[in-house]
Amino acid sequence: MNTTIVSLKKQLRKDMASRLEKISTQELSAQSDQLFQKLQQLESFKKSKNVSVYISMPTCEIMTKNIILHLLNSDKNCFIPRCTKNTMDMVRITSVGDFESLPLNRWSIPEPPLDQERENALDGAGLDLILVPGVAFDKNKNRIGHGKGYYDRYIRKCKAWSEENHKQAPALVALALNEQVVEVGKIPLEETDQVLDSVLTPLEIF
């Protein structure tokens, strides 16, 4: 692993953290609502049946609760992350009550317990759309996450699954606050980093 890239990524995460913690709850909520309106117009969202969406942290990223409630009240299937130390799967939640009864993990994010029987997206029909979180994004559709590599690994796993099952790989759409977009060249890239299909912000999509 390239130590220069690792330290550049660390620095960018630090810079972004101080930029993002200045965003007020009201602003976070307003941007999340604007983005939600835009997402519903998106072709890849409209035609998707099986959608995976992250459950947002209390601060510093687009809030996804409204998206999740919308999915649960529609004819789409909603899948959310469930992580072990090194792996992540997308498991289905079936109702608003199910979502609201999820226990909090150590990051205060609701997450289904590992010992709970859940439908796994890749044991069924796979995913049509993955709504991807991140720390920063650029116009070339690159992203930097929190450094654990969960999404990069999961996206590679989905692509391999899609090939094996002769299905189209899921569309990868990142959800970004306006402040999370950085200029091209700012995100240090490694071969394992997965490029997105599009980045959706409250103002634009690229």
Q: Output the known binding site.
A: 9-13, 55, 61, 143-151
Query: Residue 192 corresponds to which amino acid?
Result: T
Place of tokens 């991140």: 134
H helices of the chain, in order, are: 3-20, 25-41, 43-46, 65-72, 96-100, 150-164
Q: Give the residue numbers of the binding site for ATP.
A: 9-13, 143-151
Known binding-site positions for substrate: 55, 61
Query: What secondary structure letter does DSSP report for 180?
Result: G
Q: Can you tell me the distance from the alpha carbon of 171 to that of 76, in angstroms, rounded to the nearest whole number?
A: 15
CA dist., res. 137 & res. 135, Å (int): 7
**Phi then psi for 109, rounded to 5 degrees?**
-110, 130
CA angle 195, 201, 202 (to 5 degrees): 170
